[in-house]
């Protein structure tokens, strides 16, 4: 393996690990804020206990997300310094805004929320968790804006004298149509992850307590949390479907080769293009005759790509010729450029992204049915379903990002033929010229080991506090006569 391969592996490993944590932070911050709002409005203790319970899990996840996210910034300037040199003026702007505005907003108000339980008035304290949630949304938006520019560059020009892309319109970068479609899809996914997380843990506890004692005092609390998570899953699932459909059609316009790769479509079909459920054969494209679509839905790919059941979707063989004619047939060493992404990865990651969400749908339906009319359930299979479903949207979200990034290859900044085709960069030209195989191999090994250790800590902490259940909670709102102002602030969790 050369430097490019190792650098891609390192960035892929660290990014996927980091993104496992991100959707839960985005979605759960809002759900915890809603729980605390319910407590402030109703005064019911169960909402306070749920806020403290899921709030602790949120803090663990957020802390690990920060630790793993820091590495991403360093990689841009080390393994991918040529990429940073080329796009730094554009790509760095939304990332800088994210760090200076959104992330500091998150951090400041999260600190006030953690330490302000017995120091701030109830409604003021509630505002801090909502500010934290808003900061999470803003942080996601600016990062997605940066990534969307890589998928569909706008608002920039290529300066041949400096060999760099230079920003001409930051508003165009921040309102990129790719961003405006990708952001709601990511947010809907985050709520699906968080809703499944809340519901899965609540169902686990509801079944566990119901099997011990059908009259247990905590059963209504966990039933409330389970149904709340189910409502979030239902609404966010619909959001994922609608925004995913919009994103697929926009992706087909901007990166048609990615859509063909998602289907493993080698040859352009006569008539409409089907969507396969299962395909076997050589997905590398070197032997198209070996590819066999065993199960397929007629014309579905045409609709997903074009909005028409008989729309044309070009195959990879034709698109390879089009891309080669437009962007060049060979690289600097005279080797033929392969514009087709890794089909095995894109094909299966696309299907896993969609298919794994079915577990959340199954859990959602089961919760609504078995907790209707004030009921609770003690069915052991329900607890097993909750445990199985809980990690599935995490995996689905990760496979979605794998598809998004791998489907863009061999470009790290994809070409945009509508006036921005010169502002593009192939992945092989983005890697640093100063790093060696040993440099990247050592850092790859170190990061993988460190991330492995962090994964163990993350799981053990999340598992430990999840199986402890919702803590007993008591709240005394501070008053002007309270002498606690002289006491040091304490960690409320």
Q: CA torsion sign, 185 to 186 to 190 to 193? A: positive
Q: Which 8-state DSSP code applies to residue 392?
A: H
Say how far apart CA 205 and CA 221 lie, in whole Å: 10
Say how far apart CA 147 and CA 173 lie, in whole Å: 10
Pairing mode of beta strands 411-413, 164-167? unpaired
> For each successive 10 residues of the chain (493 residues), what is the average pLDDT?
89 88 95 96 94 95 86 83 91 88 87 89 94 94 94 94 92 95 96 97 95 89 96 96 94 92 87 85 67 83 91 90 89 82 90 93 95 90 95 94 92 90 90 90 90 92 93 73 56 57
Q: What confidence score (pLDDT) does residue 243 get?
A: 96
Q: Which 8-state DSSP code applies to residue 460?
A: H
Say how far apart CA 173 and CA 165 lie, in whole Å: 13
Q: What confidence score (pLDDT) does residue 100 get?
A: 84
Looking up tokens 């097993």, which residue turns up? Answer: 384
What one-character-per-residue DSSP string does 4-19 give? Answer: HHHHHHHHHHHHHHHH
For 285, phi then psi, to 5°, come to 90, -5
Q: What confidence score (pLDDT) does residue 492 get?
A: 57
**Structure-block tokens of residue 166:** 């230079």
Q: Measure the CA angle with vertex 91, ends 89 and 92; round to 5°.
A: 65
Query: How far lies 436's CA from each of 5, 40, 80, 414, 445, in Å?
Result: 12, 57, 12, 26, 14
User: For residue 346, which of 299, 399, 410 has the smallest C-alpha distance?
Assistant: 399
User: What pTM did the predictor assign?
Assistant: 0.93
User: For residue 51, which of 250, 208, 228 has the smallest C-alpha distance?
Assistant: 228
Looking up tokens 């195959």, which residue turns up? Answer: 315
Q: Which 8-state DSSP code applies to residue 99?
A: I
User: For residue 350, which of 313, 312, 304, 308 has the smallest C-alpha distance?
Assistant: 304
Q: CA torsion sign, 81 to 82 to 88 to 89? A: positive
Looking up tokens 């951090």, which residue turns up? Answer: 107
Q: What confidence score (pLDDT) does residue 488 get?
A: 55
b/e per residue, 67-91, with b = 16+ CB within 10 A? bbbebeeebbebbbbbbbbbbbbbb
Tens of pLDDT along 77-128? 888 999 999 998 999 899 888 888 888 888 899 999 999 888 889 999 999 9
**Structure-block tokens of residue 80:** 């991918």
**Structure-block tokens of residue 413:** 């900044």
What one-character-per-residue DSSP string does 213-257 give? Answer: -TT-TTHHHHHHHHHHHHHHHHHHHHHHHHHHHHHHHHHHHH-HH
Q: What confidence score (pLDDT) does residue 296 get?
A: 85
């Amino acid at each position: 393996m050369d430097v490019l391969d190792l650098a891609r592996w390192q960035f892929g490993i660290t990014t996927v690990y980091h993104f496992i944590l991100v959707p839960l932070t985005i979605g759960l911050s809002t759900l915890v804020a809603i729980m605390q709002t319910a407590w402030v409005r109703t005064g019911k203790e169960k909402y306070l206990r749920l806020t403290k319970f899921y709030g602790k899990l949120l803090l663990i996840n957020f802390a690990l997300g920060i630790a793993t996210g820091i590495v991403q910034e360093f990689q841009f300037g080390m393994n991918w310094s040529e990429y940073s040199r080329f796009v730094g003026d554009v790509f760095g702007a939304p990332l800088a805004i994210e760090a200076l505005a959104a992330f500091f907003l998150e951090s400041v108000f999260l600190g006030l929320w953690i330490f302000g339980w017995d120091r701030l008035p109830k409604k003021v304290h509630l505002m801090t968790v909502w500010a934290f949630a808003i900061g999470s949304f803003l942080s996601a938006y600016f990062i997605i804006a940066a990534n969307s520019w890589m998928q569909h560059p706008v608002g920039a020009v290529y300066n041949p004298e400096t060999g760099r892309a230079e920003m001409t319109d930051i508003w165009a970068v921040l309102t990129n149509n790719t961003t405006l479609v990708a952001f709601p899809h990511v947010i809907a996914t985050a709520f699906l992850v968080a809703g499944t997380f809340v519901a899965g843990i609540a169902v686990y506890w509801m079944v566990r307590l119901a099997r011990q004692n059908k009259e247990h005092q905590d059963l209504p609390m966990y039933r409330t949390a389970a149904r709340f998570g189910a409502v979030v899953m239902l609404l966010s699932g619909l959001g994922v479907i609608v925004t995913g459909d919009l994103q697929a059609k926009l992706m087909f316009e901007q990166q048609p080769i990615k859509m063909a790769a998602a289907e493993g479509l080698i040859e352009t079909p006569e008539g409409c293009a089907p969507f396969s459920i299962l395909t076997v054969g050589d997905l590398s494209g070197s032997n198209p005759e070996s590819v066999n679509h065993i199960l397929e839905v007629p014309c579905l790919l045409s609709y997903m790509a074009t909005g028409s059941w008989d729309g044309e979707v070009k195959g990879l063989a034709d698109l390879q010729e089009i891309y080669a004619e437009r962007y060049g047939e060979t690289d600097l060493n005279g080797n033929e450029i392969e514009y087709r992404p890794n089909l095995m990865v894109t094909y299966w990651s696309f299907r896993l992204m969609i298919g794994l969400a079915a577990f959340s749908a199954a859990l959602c339906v089961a919760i609504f049915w078995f907790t209707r009319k004030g009921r609770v359930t003690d069915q052991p299979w329900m607890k097993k379903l909750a445990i199985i479903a809980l990690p599935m949207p995490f995996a689905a979200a990760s496979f979605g990002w794998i598809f998004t990034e791998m489907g863009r290859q061999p470009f790290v900044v994809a070409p945009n033929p509508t006036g921005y085709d010169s502002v593009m960069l192939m992945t092989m030209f983005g890697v640093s010229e100063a790093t060696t195989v040993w440099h990247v191999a050592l850092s790859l090994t170190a990061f993988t080991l460190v991330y492995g250790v962090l994964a163990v800590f993350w799981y053990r902490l999340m598992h430990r506090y999840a199986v402890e259940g919702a803590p007993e909670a008591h709240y005394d709102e501070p008053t002007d006569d309270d002498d606690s102002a002289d006491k040091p602030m304490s960690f409320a969790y």
